[in-house]
Amino acid sequence: MGGVVGSPYVWSTWGHLLHSIRTGENAFQSLNGKDIWNYRAERPEESAVFDRAMTEFSRGGAEAVIGAYDFSAFHHVVDVGGGRGLMLAAILTAHPRMQGALFDQPGVIAGAEAVLEAHGVVDRCRMVSGSFFESVPEGGDAYVMRVVIHDWDDDEAIAILKACRRAMRETAKLVLIERIIAPANEVPATKFMDLHMLALPVGGSGPATSSLTCLPNLASS
């Protein structure tokens, strides 16, 4: 993550954090006239740094996720916004009979095959590109989103979740994996991320508890 946080466009935004604190508005968009996703899309080198950082971030947490949640009942896992596929590769490696689908933007998916092949699971995983605001792959009995929902404001998060709901079978499960701020604020890293998300993303809430429990209910209504 150091390559991302140390980028000039990130630390210059932190210099305007007070704007976000005072107004609740996105400091990055105020400075640049566009959201961070469009900014990176226009700068492939910055987008590549971000994609690599997310892959490394997934590497550190994949084993913890697999240890904390039992995926063994599922036959087909769809990883929505799964980046280059490290999280899904770890799940498929742990469950040799499982099939998977990796879904993300075209530019991200382009770098996924090498990751899946390196883990020996490329033959059990299809790669699909598109926008999760519109639709996601059908046919899964589990839909996984790791550190995705916190990037978006409530309306956008609900749109993503509704797209998942339309694709899901009645018995399918939605697995949201997010950092949260514990009630007593024990973990400083989550508080740092909360401020980071206030200043930079499209409008996400950052690490939280209440929004993550309410949003799936709103999306199913």
Q: Residue holding tokens 């199913």?
A: 220
CA atoms within 13 Å, Cβ hemisphere of 23: 13
pLDDT tens-digit series, residues 11-51: 788 888 888 888 878 888 888 888 887 888 888 888 777 77
pLDDT tens-digit series, residues 149-178: 887 878 888 999 999 999 999 999 999 998
Q: Compute the mean pLDDT over every residue in the chain, rounded to the nearest whole number.
A: 84
- pLDDT confidence bin for 108, thresholds 50/70/90: confident
Average pLDDT rounded to a whole number, residues 70-94: 96
Numbers of helices and strands, H then E, in the chain: 12, 5
CATH number of the domain at 2-220, please?
A: 3.40.50.150
Q: What pTM did the predictor assign?
A: 0.75
The pLDDT score that the predictor gives to residue 60 is 64
Q: Residue holding tokens 């990037």?
A: 151
Q: Is 134's pLDDT higher than 70?
A: yes
Which two three-digit tokens encode residue 27?
Answer: 């400091």
Query: Could you tell me if 198 and 20 are in contact, meaning their C-beta atoms sit under 8 angstroms apart?
Result: yes
Burial class (CB in 10 A: 0-12, 13-18, 19+), 110: middle
- Which is higher by pLDDT, 141 or 10? 141
- pLDDT confidence bin for 201, thresholds 50/70/90: low
d(CA 23, CA 191): 19
Q: Is 206's pLDDT higher than 80?
A: no
The pLDDT score that the predictor gives to residue 96 is 97
Burial class (CB in 10 A: 0-12, 13-18, 19+), 48: middle
150 annotated active-site: yes
74: left (phi over 0), alpha (psi -120 to 50) or beta: beta
Handedness of CA 201, 202, 208, 212 (dihedral sign): negative
The pLDDT score that the predictor gives to residue 42 is 85
The pLDDT score that the predictor gives to residue 207 is 46
Query: Could you tell me if 133 and 69 are in contact, meaning their C-beta atoms sit under 8 angstroms apart?
Result: no
- Which is higher by pLDDT, 208 or 7? 7
Query: Could you tell me if 151 and 52 are in contact, meaning their C-beta atoms sit under 8 angstroms apart?
Result: no
Q: Is 83's pLDDT higher than 70?
A: yes
Q: Which of 76, 95, 150, 196 is catalytic?
A: 150
